[in-house]
Amino acid sequence: MSNVFENKIVIIIDDGMNKGVTANRSAVLMSGLAAKYPAIVGKNHVTRDNISVEGFTQLPVIILTRPEDKTYSDLIKSIRQAGCYHTMFLRRAEGVRSYADYSESISEDNFDELDIDGVVIYGKRKKVDKLTKNLPSLR
């Protein structure tokens, strides 16, 4: 997706979740994004005494909340139409015993039946801004 610095990262998550759940969802979403677009992660650093300090995302990560009148399915359809990348967190991930069980549970549902409660968007800054301009910040 061209130059990393022309892009923007936004996480959309439900308001009202406790801090631990919100942090977990955000971390999981960012791990999926970094796996797909490793260029967003900066290079490692080395201290004067030769200790390696791992790099992390070179872009700010904005966290916004989903308005109650919008569904995640609707948001994702808009994201896809805009040509932006997205990945999502499904609530069922909390209760499954293995990644294989998680994958199997997804294959048993239609997309509109998925229990989405978090999304990360990555794409051209202007497109992401247009998609998220009316969403409130997480407080």
Which pLDDT belongs to residue 67?
86
The whole-angstrom separation of Cα 110 and Cα 119 is 18
pLDDT at 1: 54
Question: pTM value?
Answer: 0.90
pLDDT at 112 > cutoff 90 = no
pLDDT over 90 at 110, yes or no? yes
- Per-residue pLDDT of 75-101, as tens digits, reads 999 999 999 999 999 999 988 899 999
Residue environment code for 58-79, b if the CB has 16+ CB neighbours within 10 A, otherwise e: ebebbbbbbeeeeebeebbebb
Please list the residues that pair with 35 across neighbouring strands: none
**Interval 10-45: pLDDT, tens:** 999 988 888 999 999 999 999 999 999 999 999 999
User: How far apart are alpha carbons 114 and 77 in whole angstroms?
Assistant: 14
Q: In what order do the strands lie in the sheet with 85-90?
A: 61-65, 7-13, 116-124, 85-90
Query: What pLDDT, on a 0 to 100 scale, did the predictor assign at position 65?
Result: 94
- Residue 11, classified by CB atoms within 10 Å of its CB into exposed (0-12), middle (13-18) or buried (19+), is buried
> Looking at residues 117-126, what average pLDDT do you find?
96
Residues contacting 117, CB < 8 A, separation 6+? 13, 14, 17, 25, 72, 89, 90, 91
**Is residue 60 predicted with pLDDT exceeding 70?**
yes
